[in-house]
Chains A and B, each alone.
Chain A
Amino acid sequence: MSEVILKQMGKTYPNGHTAVASLDLEIAAGEFIVLVGPSGCGKSTLLRMVAGLESISTGELLIQDERVNDKEPAQRDIAMVFQNYALYPHMSVYDNMAYGLKNRGIAKAQITEQVQAVAKMLELEALLQRKPKQLSGGQRQRVAMGRAMVRDPKVFLFDEPLSNLDAKLRVQMRVEIRALQRKLGTTTLYVTHDQVEAMTLADRLVVLNQGHVEQIGTPMEVYERPASTFVAQFIGSPAMNLIPSKMVDGKPALDVDIPVACPHLLASSVLLGVRPEHVDIVPLSETALQLQVLAIEALGAETLLHGTLEGWGDTAPTFVVRLAGQHQPALGERIGLRVSPEAWHVFDGDTQKRITQCN
């Protein structure tokens, strides 16, 4: 059963700017959906539309089969964790968590019980009487989550909740959020621009670009079969190498032999993609695919080689190789590369979409 359904939902502002264009998405009960994309892609607007903080211009939003387009945020039975936490500064941690329950007229004894239970789960028991400004960033984050959890809503909404934390805490909270969500089984919509958060948290990813959905899928689907060049470059770090090329009679028209076959493409321009981590080094004698090394980034566990590809006709496209361990080629040196046939991705040169009938 679908918990949340977005039917051709869109947002157009009075000034004509379309923040989100007609979006379809069915979210299963208990599913963890991550909306990911660069800033300005409409992901926060989308979340705020689900929350009821922005009006829905077109389409429908259903929560448990009930149309909620015109309902107030409070009536939608959702809870939201804000980027800046939005804790009420004049209320104690306890009052922050109890506020939503009080407004719903729940008995005092039950409020205490529910707040205590959540506080215990989040290890906030010792902090209940403190004011938000007496808490550290991580504790505030936890209170914000506690405030969302205490009402046991139908849907959790997270708006970049980890972006105000330092790197170490972010990793820790990421793991905690995932574990809590699994434990509670609450349907979750999570917005982030961080692809690592997106990959690690999501059951399914929604990759957004300029208000349009580029791809919806599990993290591995999105990584292994990106639907467009945008997704290919947005998910994965460093970004996928994309090399422009011509297809003639189903084969790339290049000096080097690229093991890609698209029998139906008789003459068209394409982009050939390969992830930096899917490239191996082989002796020069074994391959015509060669990289002239122009810069080396040694990260200890891995090494990134930046350079240009040789044997690509007149153009010498830039290319990145990611190798495990440590390598120290000389700058300007040529090294031989090998890419297994299944590691190549082919995108249409005009539409930027993946061409699926290749290989």
Chain B
Amino acid sequence: MSVYFPQKWLPYGLLLPQLLVTAVFFLWPAGQAVEQAFYQEDAFGLSRDFVGLDNFIALFQSAEYFAALGTTLVFSVSVAGLGLVLALLLAVMADRVLRAAMVYQTLLIWPYAVAPALAGVLWWVLFDPSIGPLALALQTLGVDWNHYLNGDQAMLLVVIAATWKQISYNFLFFLAGLQAIPRSLIEAAAIDGAGPAKRFFDIVLPLLSPTTFFLLVVNVVYAFFDTFAVIDATTQGGPGQSTTTMVYKVYKDGFVGLDLGSSAAQSVVLMVVVGLMTIIQFRYIERKVQY
């Protein structure tokens, strides 16, 4: 539908606030990052030299960067996979609840309202080797939990914290998806001789595939880009580099290491990745998964 405005300036005027926000908080810094990526700057910001693609070349020759890429992949696949499976499990169970369904659903949605940094701190406290109740419980079970020293445990901790935060969102979409499946389809399958598990895999899961695919993309994007606060509040990327994802490395190299050129180059790489994911999202999600 098209709307015609009598004055030419009005539509632009109405768009201006949003465009200003976008320009100041997105386009300008993004432009700065692209520009920075081609310069070497001294730690005090007093001088800078144009170095061409040197920052990128250094980046792609750095083992640390590929380590961060690997960490990001492990982290993202774990968060997206765990988040989707657990949320689906919870949604299937919540869908069966007859009494007080609203209470369960509301409680399951709450974690989404918790700020990422708080979620990080929450899990950090729970798993703190000296005061955390969960860490102490693990120690009584014979598990030597110390995510300050053990990189795998640190990864597990950030995965748990980041997943916990995202499950609510996934749960909401899965529950809506489940409720949109007509009961008669499940009943028809029951009459057709399919047991509960078979019904789930033959009927429910395929019918949920548009929801699942949408959530997969959203979760991967979340794990890639929106988990800075969780990581910063729990492990700060450590121990060593074991929980330093690509986004966290941008911050660490730029604001802690003050290597602004490399940090900017990493931002540009991430921008390209976001762009690709956005294309995937628009290409496939707009068309939905075919069935």
Contacts and interface: CB of A to CB of B under 8 A. Distances in A.
Interface in A27-74: 51-53, 72-74
B17 interface: no
Given A51-B191, A90-B207, A100-B192, 10 more contacts: A72-B190, A73-B191, A80-B187, A82-B184, A86-B188, A88-B203, A89-B207, A103-B193, A103-B194, A131-B291
8 contacts: A78-B191, A84-B184, A86-B188, A89-B207, A90-B207, A100-B191, A100-B192, A103-B194
Interface in B166-225: 182, 184-185, 187-194, 198, 202-203, 206-207, 209
Contacts of A53: 187, 190-191
Contact of A79 (B182, B185, B191, B291): B191
Could you say which interface size class chain A belongs to? 20 to 34
A86 B182 contact: yes
A86 B194 contact: no
B207 A99 contact: no
Interface string B119-147: 00000000000000000000000000000
A104 interface: yes
A103 B198 contact: yes
A90 B190 contact: no
B interface, by DSSP: helix, strand, loop or mixed? Answer: helix
A80 B185 contact: no
Given A74-B193, A89-B207, A100-B193, A82 B188 contact: yes
A18 to B, nearest CB: 20
A51 B186 CA distance: 13
Interface in A137-157: 147
A interface, by DSSP: helix, strand, loop or mixed? Answer: loop
B191 A88 contact: no
Contact of B187 (A82, A90, A104, A131): A82
A91 B97 CA distance: 29
A164 to B, nearest CB: 12
Interface centre among B184, B193, B206 (most CB of A within 10 A): B193
A174 B198 CA distance: 34
A103 B192 contact: yes
A90 B192 contact: no
Contact of B190 (A74, A84, A147): A74
A349 to B, nearest CB: 43
A86 B185 CA distance: 5
B139 to A, nearest CB: 47
Interface string A282-315: 0000000000000000000000000000000000
Nearest to A75: B193
Interface string A98-118: 011001100000000000000
B207 to A, nearest CB: 6
Nearest to B187: A53
A103 to B, nearest CB: 4
A131 B203 CA distance: 14
B185 A88 contact: yes
A90 B193 contact: no
A300 B177 CA distance: 51
A90 B191 contact: no
Contacts of B185: 86, 88
B206 A73 contact: no
A345 to B, nearest CB: 40
